Structure formats: C-alpha cells, structure tokens
Structure 1
Amino acid sequence: MFTFFKKSNEKKDENDVGGGGTGTPGGSGVSGGSGGIVPPPALVIGGALTDQGTLRHSATSEIAIPTRITRERRATIGGDVPHPQSLLYPLTPTSNNIASLSPSMFASYKTQAEPQVPTGYIDEYYERDVEGNKYLEKMWMNVVMPATQNLARLELKYIVRRGIPDSKRTRVWKLISGYEDFKRSLDYEYVSGAITGEGAPKKFRNIPSFGGIVSPSDHFLNDQGIDHVKRILTVLALRCPEVEYCPSIPDILQMLLLFLSDVEAYTVLNLLIQQSKTNIKFRYLNITNRDCISFSLTFDTLFEMTVPKLYKHMIGLGITSSKVFTEEWFSRMFVSHLPFQTVLRVFDCFLCEGYKALYRVGLGLLKLHKNVLMSKATTAEQFCSMLKHLNLQMFDVDKLMNRAFRIRLQRNTVQNIDEMQTPKLTHIAEPQMPIYYRPKITTPSDILHNDDYEIVWTWLPHRFCICDPKVVYNSNRDGRSLRNMLERVKGEYPMLILIKTTNGDVFGCFTDDELESKFGFGSSNTFVFVMKPHAHVYRATNKNELYLKVCPSVDLSSFSMWIGASELGDRALCIDSELNGTTAPSDTYGNPALTDDQSFKFKSTVLEVISLV
C-alpha cells in the first residue's frame, strides 16, 4: 500500500528555515526551498498533469506529480502517477505500481534484479542489514540509472534519501559523484594513473591525515583496503599540495573504499575536492580551517532558528555554541557518533546533495532529541553526554531521515548566513599542518634508505618540506676530513649531516645556515636527531642559543665542529677533523647521547652531507 501526504493547513512550525512557497508540511512547495523527502519545486500535492505540462486536480487521489513527464511517457503509465514522495513509507513493489514511482527512473517491471557485487574492501566484521537490503533491493529493482551526474542528482534524490542497497552503492555513488562523466574525459587517465602508475608509492611510514582521523577500524575495511587508504592519502597529499587542512578527507575516503575500487575511490575524492572549489551549490568539503569554523558557526545559527527552545536551553546551561559537539560530527561525517549503517545513509545523501545534507541531519538529530534533552539535561556535561548517547542509539535511520528532510533549508538562506560569519573569521589562522612531500631521490645515499627520507622530511621546517635531497659530500668518495667536507658544501644550505658509526648507529643534525667559521652560533632551526636504532628528533629548547659552531685550529690547518652544548661543556654532537667525535646530553636540544656507546665516543664509517634543493 502507498501512503501519501495529504494537503494540510497546519501552521508553519519551527522546522521551517528560509522562505517557502506552498507545499507539503516540511516540503519545498511550488516556489519554496528544497524540503524533506518530498516533491521538488516542480511538484505539488493534489494535482496531475495536463497535456500542456501544467497541473490538474484529481478528485480521487492526492498524489505528487512531476511536471517533467512527457506526453508519450504519460500515455504509457496512465494519468495520476505517484512520485517517490510515497517512499516515505514501506513499499511492496508490484507489477502495477513499480513503474509509477517515477516514470523517468523506472523501466518496465522485471521479476529478477541483475546481481551486482560491490567492488570495495569490506572486512568480515561488517554487519549487513539483511532485511533492510531486501526491501531496498525490491525498491531499486527497476530503477533506470540516468546518463549524467546532473540528471542523477535530480531524478535519484528522493529514492537515495530512502536508502541504497549495498549491491547498488558502487554504481550509484559513481554516478551521483560525477565519476562516470569524468571517466569519459581526457583527464581520467592522468588522475587514475597516480594510483596505478609506476610512480605510485609502495611503502608508507608517515600517512598524511589532513587534520582528520585515519581509523580504518571504524569503517570495517580489510587489510587491502587499509593499504589503499595509506596509498591514496599519500598520493592525494602529493597531487593536491594546496589542500593542507580538510579533516573530513580520511573518513570520506575510508567510506568510499567500502564499495569502490582504489582507483574509483581516489578519482571520486579528487572530484569532490574540485567541485568544492568551483561549485558552491554542491560544495562537499571545507578545505581550510576557516571554512570548517564557518560551517560550524552557520550550523549554530541554523540551530537557533530551527530549534529555538532547545538552543535557549543549551545556552542556559552554559554552552555558548553548538560547535562544542558538532565540530567533530561534521569533520568525521558522523563516524563514531552514529551507528555505522546510519552513517552510510547520511553519506549516500551527502554524495547526492552536498554539504546541505549534513546540516539537515544535524538539525534532525537535535529535533528528535529535543524533549529528552530539555527535560533531563540540567548541566552542560549532562547535555553533551546525553546527546552523544542518544546519537549512538539512533538505529531507526528512517525516522532520522524523515525528520531531517522535512526541514526547509534554502541554499540562499545558508549562503547568507555564511556571509554573516566572515567578520568572525578575521582572526582565525590556519593550523600548522605537516606538509607532506615524498622527496625525489636522484643521488642515492649510503646511509638513508628511500623510506627513511619520509621520516626526516616530517621533521623539517615547513618551507623546506618541498625540497629534494642531493648528496653533496660522502666521506668515502670525497676524502675523509672535516676540511674536505667544509670545502665541498660551501654555499650548500639548508642541509642534513648524517653519520653512520662502526656499531651501526645512525644520527646527525639539520641546519639552515651555511657551514663556515663565523661569528655567532647558528640558527634556531637547527636540530639533532637519531635514525637508528630508533628514530627521534630533538629540537631547540630555548635554554641557550648555542646551536652550531665551526671552529678552525689556530693555524687554520684543521677544523672541528660542534652542535648544542650544556653548562658543563658537553656537546650534543662534536665532530673532529677526522670525522669521529663524541655525543652527550645537551641543554640546547634536551637530547640524550645520540649513540648507545657508554663512552659517548663514536667512530664513523661514513659521513654524508645532503643538501636540500
């Protein structure tokens, strides 16, 4: 049986945000904003199409009719046709009613659905909603997929809100994200080649997180999927250096990999980033810290407009902004805040409709929990903990989606509120995120392996993270003396000095100052580090400014060099004229001895200087 909304004279309740026209309760009406799981602006209640594409009222039924139906299509399906508005309630498809759900979406009724298998990397702990998937499979059985992304967003929007079965997600996600359109473009091979080409990284030590959380266990990914997460995040950081802070990227990628291949997931993620830069209407990602804060502030204003009583109660408890609990909702796409099957339903709508779906779901949660929070939460701590607990129990995803998509939310209203936040963001600085760069190694090192460079590069000052290494001095090749080293590296800075000892220890220092005998004690950016047996970096503590010094002998025939010092005269690293030396704890860097040798002395087997170019 179908159950349809009837026309209502209800007063506009507090869930209406922005202007509207006439329409269903919580709907968008004829000229209003886009509302819940309801007809788009071209649809009304209580009418059917005439031959001129306008509307006529039906005496027998009150059904939403799309105005886009052609005369030929209308002739094949009859006059009064239900729209996916009816999908708000349980549906049992039959040969008589399946085609009527949306004529531009459904083909003639078939008794068997074509089997489709997701291509992602789901592990054995993923719990499928068997009954829910059966119901959704029947609902989607005869859906004809539109040819383009724009048509898919328009024609599939209401049925996507109702849910996508696991077997259909692969195809639907690719379609509504624009993957299928992009695959036909000339740029596809370039983008996909970043994952499949010879230059794709094979091993990973430092995984760029873009300020988010890389937690594959929250997403039921298998080992292969986890490996793809590392690879794709690494490639994305290399290919999109302008995107430094975007905390939702890791969770979005990990969800995509549940139902897409690595190439598909990487391509879709690229498309979401590009569309976020160029398409305000379907913006997906906040790619700066200011964008993220503006997003939370806009939601706070929408919260006050949509659920004013609960908002006032929250303020009365001493919570000055909903940003306290919503910041992580949006940065993690509700992962770990809602049951995972609920998260997937939210993500379906997010891919189809953009950022506005997140606003609606957040507001829907607050409206659903309004009575409990107002009656039982008497302190700020109770409010936040109770809200978190209620969200984790939100297994009735249909109830949430119905409530969320009944909220009228016009894009113009949201954009106006966004613009109001601009004065509040002038003092917001971008966080100092590590710049991820995989250096191009043209001259091999006798000390560092290729993977070691990734570790060292995370220690460098940001402005040097995009430099590549060049071995400018090797003691086995260029002569084993400090004098030779200083001559070879003249004018070469910034640089790394690496020492490998006879007992296998590897340690050294970084400086962005030229190595020469001069007044002063080097740069505060200088640091010392250990690579083996355990990688660790020791930076300046500001206890003194004795960073680095090159000391010539009286007759200038030889040199020594030291890095860091303590009150007792110990040096973090001291190198003599023959490239041996000592190491000890220092106040400058707060380091222990850089070698395990109890004598604090070392003999080098090889010393290298690597310039950053």
Structure 2
Amino acid sequence: MAFKLKICLKEIQDNDSIDSGFKSSIKCSSEDIPKLCEPNEIKIAKKFTRHNAWPSSHEIRTGLWQVVSKDADFEASREVFKEKMNDLINSGISMIEPNFLSVDGIIIQDHDLKENGVVLLQRLLIIIEYTRPELTYVPAIYSISAIFIHFIEADEAFAVLNRLLGQSNKFLIQSELSYEASAYTLLALLKKYKSKVYRHLEQRCRSTNEKDLVQPLKNWYEWIFKHLPFDYLVRVIDCFVIEGHKFLLRIGIAIIYLWYKNRSKHPLSLLDTPIDQCVEDVNQQLIATSSAVPVSFQTMIDIGIAIKNFKMSTVDRFQKHYEDQVREEVNERRVRKQATGVKYMNHLFSTVFTSRIVNADTAQALMRALPERLQLETPILLFNLSSQGTSFVNLWNKIDEAEQSLFIIKTMKGDVFGGYASSSWVERKDVKERSRSKFFGTGECFVFKIDKSCKIPVIYNWIGSKNPDEADRASQMFMAAGDKFLILGSGSGDAIAIREDLCQGVSYECNTFASPALASERAFEIQELEVFSIHSGCN
C-alpha cells in the first residue's frame, strides 16, 4: 500500500506546480488515491500535504480532504446528512442558527461565502447539532465548516466534520476547559522550543508572570481561523485534516515567531507603561501579524514544521497540567454565566406558542432556550390547571405521550418559573429501569425562572452540559415521577417538586442545574400550571 501511494503522489508532484493550470483528476475513491490516514502511511501523507504549495484555487481539494477523512462511517454520515437536509427543507425553515453558536468564544467567520453558501452553512451546522447534541463548545466549528463549504459538497463536509469531531480534542477543541488550557500549553511549548522568542515576549509584556504572558495568546485560535488570509488558512487545513491539533499548535508558534522577527527591530515600550497596556499591545500585534503574514503561506508552514522533536506526548503532558490548573477558574466562570439568561440569536420559528402565564416575547425566549432541533414546530398546550383540575390522573392522561414537555408555573405570589423535560414522563412506569434509579431524562433538561423586571427567562442548564470534562461526575438527577408526584431537577434539593395534588409544591437549590430556589418562598401555592408538548420537526 505504501509503495502504491508513493507512486500516486509522485505522479501528482511531477505534474504540478503552484503556478500551473493543472486540473487534478483526483476523485474521492480508494481506486484513485489510497487512504492517506492509515497508520503506515501517515509520514508520507504529512510530507505530501506539507510540501505541495497548492494555491487555494487548486482542484485537488475536491478530493483530498474527503480521502484522508474516509473512515468506516463516511458514507453513512453522508446519507444521514441528506436525510436531515430533506427534513429541514420540508419544514419550510429558511434560516436557523444552532445553539452552540450563541456561546461566547465561538469564532464566527464565513470567509466571504455568498448568501446561498451561508444558508447551506447554517443548515450544515444545525444538522451537526442535531446529530451531536453533546456538543456545546467547539470554537472553530463555524469557520472550518465554512472553509469546507467553499470546496466540497455539504454532505461530504458533514462526513469530514464527523470524523474530526469523533476524535475528541485530537483535532478540534471541544470544551471550554480545553480551550482555556490550550493557550497555556502554547506558551509552554514556545518556552521549550523557541526560548529566545519567549524571552522577547517577557520583555514586550514587561512581565515574567505566566498569567500575564498567556493573555495575548488566549485568542490564538482566532489568529488561525479568523484572521489568517484565506489562502493561508486553506493550506493549514490541508495539513490539519491529517495531523490534527498538533499542527495548529505549530502554526501558532510560527505566528508568534513571525511577530518576534518583526517586533525585535522596534524599541520596547516606555518603562512606565502599565503591564496591562503592554500585554494588550502584544495582543494587537499578534492579530496584525496573523492578518497580514509577512511571508508566503509555504514559508509559514515551513517555520512551523521546522520544530524538531515536537511530540504529542509533550503536548498532552502540558495540556493535562494546565487543565488541572485552570479547572476551578473555568468552573466558577461557567456558574456565573449560567444565571445570566438566554443570549439571543436570530432564530426563525413557525409560530410562537400562546400562554396564559407568559407573554409572546417570553414565550419566544423560552423557545430559543430549547435544543435547536426542537424549535421547528410550535409547542402544543396539553394541560392547564385552571380548566382541567388539580388531579395527577388528569395530568398524566394528558401528557404521558409527549416525547418532550415544557412546564410553566405561576404561583399565588406571582412568581413564574418552570422547566423543560427532555424525556417522556411515561418512563416513570418502566419498572426495570426505575428499580435501578428513580431518575430519568437527559442533560438537555433545564429549569428556569422569569425575571420580574424584564420578563426574560433565566435559564439553568445541566452543569455537565457546559463542561464535558466533568459530565461523568456531575449530578444527573433530571426527572422523577410517580402516581402522585413529579420532580424536575434534584440533588441537594429539588428544583421543582409537586406532590399529592397540583395545588402546591416546593423549590430548593439544586445541584443538577446549579440553580437557586426558583420561587420567592420555597413552599409555594400554584395559581396556574401549563404543560406544552415539544415536537421535533426533524423526525
């Protein structure tokens, strides 16, 4: 196989140059190009992509990225995409945006896609979110998806992304903790492999403190996925789809090195310049360097790959060390963000649901808080207390068949709160499963309360959804129910618990959602209760 690949690659190299009008005959099939990603051929594949300086217009990318990404699931992924794309088109939705794009730190850069391309990009991303609901933080997903849309068919882009996302952080960073630690890892690698550049960074920042030095590096992903010129980023992607995260670190170091070569000719800041200002100056200079790289894209790559003994074991050791170091800080920041409410995006829904408890704006905000795939149809009212009584028997008869449900409660004191249940309440009857645990549901569940002053829902998501690294250890007490009780969220206390009849309940601080008591008084009397069925438009 290796010999066959060498012949194939040699033919391409012998017939091509960066300035030629060569039209590649490469197709996405094993007959034309053997799989470059097999273990015994990785070195050949790396050499091939590193040293072929194809311009961005080169047609090799109509086949290369797919070939190196062809795993056993590639064709199945393409079919899944086509099926879900048909569902989206038939739903009548013209433009939607996935929830994970609303998270701070996501790099929004479409690389000048035309309008149709942007629509296709949005659909690709919503299908990724639908098929991978566990994804909550992938900073580069928008940018790299846009690059793929420029060159390959959307179903192939989906299959390539599935492979990249299926290998944890080996390719794309997929958690806030990993991203926060990655800047420190980049700094440590700079110190190890480019000590002279590291010392210059200390001089420019007027500090030897690691926390100061890492500040201008914290947006290093943006240097690559947002600021690099298009031709440069495309060449980075050529290598990245084979080499993964480690290659991005090489490019990060190369950008810092190019900054050093330029800034070392300039005088240092005045001695009385505050450290914060020095750090911000370096930050802006690094952005400027990546936006207008002073060398060719091939020279930039050559600088990155010239680093010797750059081992993944070293990267992993630094990364683990710094993840442990910043874990507490990241967790504290996440908890603070959880109670800041919903960050609005320009979603399009069919119709906002009608409620006796909340107004249309609040109802729309609650729809935005639902998983994106569930926003394609209007929630349907199944039960309301004022017309159907306080009996649990009536409640279960009305809502048992709902796949997902939204509860809205108004108390006699005027408090409004509720929760989203991601599983059917009929699961309470599964004797075998309930013998193991009375709790069921998934990490998509959430609880909320309505801020009285602005009528905006404050959403409390599962603590594990924002920190995949901690998910296994996070409390997972989402839903519980019996003939005469229901609970939404538990752990240390129940977020919402209603027992005996539908007239009264309690709300306490809850570990599962890191939520406070949702009512002004922990024991509350119910004035009105509404339960809506949430149906997926992609089924």
Could you say which TM-score interval applies, normalised by the shorter chain?
A: 0.5 to 0.7
Match of 1:538 in 2: 456
Q: From 314, 329, 350, give the equivalent of 2:240.
A: 350
Match of 2:379 in 1: 469
Q: Secondary structure at the match of 2:315?
A: helix
Further displaced range: 252-261 or 190-199: 190-199
Q: From 149, 156, 159, give the equivalent of 2:37.
A: 149
Q: Secondary structure at the match of 1:378?
A: coil
Asked if the contact 2:37–2:45 (Cα under 8 Å) also holds between the matched residues in 1, the reply is: no
Q: From 270, 284, 306, give the equivalent of 1:406.
A: 306
Q: From 134, 153, 171, give the equivalent of 2:20.
A: 134
In the aligned structure 2, how far is the partner of 1:318 from the partner of 1:110? Answer: 51
Partner amino acid for 1:350?
A: F
Distance 1:446 1:412, change over 3 A: closer
Asked if the contact 1:342–1:397 (Cα under 8 Å) also holds between the matched residues in 2, the reply is: yes
Give the greater-gyration-radius structure (CA): 1
Distance 1:205 1:199, change over 3 A: closer
Q: Secondary structure at the match of 1:134?
A: coil
Partner amino acid for 2:79?
A: E
Asked if the contact 2:223–2:291 (Cα under 8 Å) also holds between the matched residues in 1, the reply is: no
**CA-to-partner distance for each residue in 1:86-115, whole Å, 9 max, x for gaps?**
xxxxxxxxxxxxxxx94353349997x9xx
In the aligned structure 2, how far is the partner of 1:230 from the partner of 1:135? Answer: 33
In the aligned structure 2, how far is the partner of 1:443 from the partner of 1:344? Answer: 41
CA shift at 1:302, angstroms? 0.3
Partner amino acid for 2:215?
A: V
Identity %: 18
Match of 1:304 in 2: 191
- Aligned residue pairs total 389
Q: From 504, 524, 532, give the equivalent of 1:611.
A: 532
Distance 1:485 1:159, change over 3 A: same
1:136-535 to 2 correspondence within 5 Å?
145-147=33-35, 149-150=37-38, 153-162=42-51, 163-165=53-55, 166-178=58-70, 181-184=72-75, 188-197=78-87, 202-208=93-99, 209=101, 211=103, 212-213=105-106, 215=108, 218-276=110-168, 283-316=170-203, 317-318=205-206, 320-330=211-221, 332=222, 334-376=224-266, 378-379=268-269, 380=278, 381-394=280-293, 395-408=295-308, 409-427=310-328, 428-429=330-331, 431=334, 455-459=365-369, 469-472=379-382, 483-484=386-387, 514-515=409-410, 517=412, 520-523=413-416, 525-527=448-450
Identify, as 1 or 2, the structure richer in helix: 2
Q: Secondary structure at the match of 2:133?
A: coil
Distance 1:322 1:234, change over 3 A: farther
Give me the TM-score of the superposition, normalised by structure 2. Answer: 0.59
Unaligned runs of 5+ in 1: 1-67, 74-100, 114-130, 278-282, 475-481, 494-510, 531-535, 541-606
Distance 1:538 1:308, change over 3 A: same
Distance 1:522 1:453, change over 3 A: closer
**CA-to-partner distance for each residue in 1:300-334, whole Å, 9 max, x for gaps?**
1001112223322323424645542333231x461
Give me the TM-score of the superposition, normalised by structure 1. Answer: 0.53
Unaligned runs of 5+ in 2: 270-277, 397-405, 418-447, 459-527, 535-539
CA shift at 1:461, angstroms? 11
CA shift at 1:473, angstroms? 5.8
Asked if the contact 1:221–1:258 (Cα under 8 Å) also holds between the matched residues in 2, the reply is: yes
Asked if the contact 2:382–2:531 (Cα under 8 Å) also holds between the matched residues in 1, the reply is: yes
Q: Secondary structure at the match of 2:167?
A: helix
Superposition CA RMSD, Å: 4.9
In the aligned structure 2, how far is the partner of 1:154 from the partner of 1:609? Answer: 61
Which protein has greater RCO, CA pairs closer than 8 Å, 6+ apart?
2
Q: Secondary structure at the match of 1:611?
A: strand
In the aligned structure 1, how far is the partner of 2:350 from the partner of 2:114? Answer: 35
Distance 1:421 1:168, change over 3 A: same
Distance 1:175 1:154, change over 3 A: farther
Asked if the contact 1:373–1:387 (Cα under 8 Å) also holds between the matched residues in 2, the reply is: no
CA shift at 1:299, angstroms? 0.9
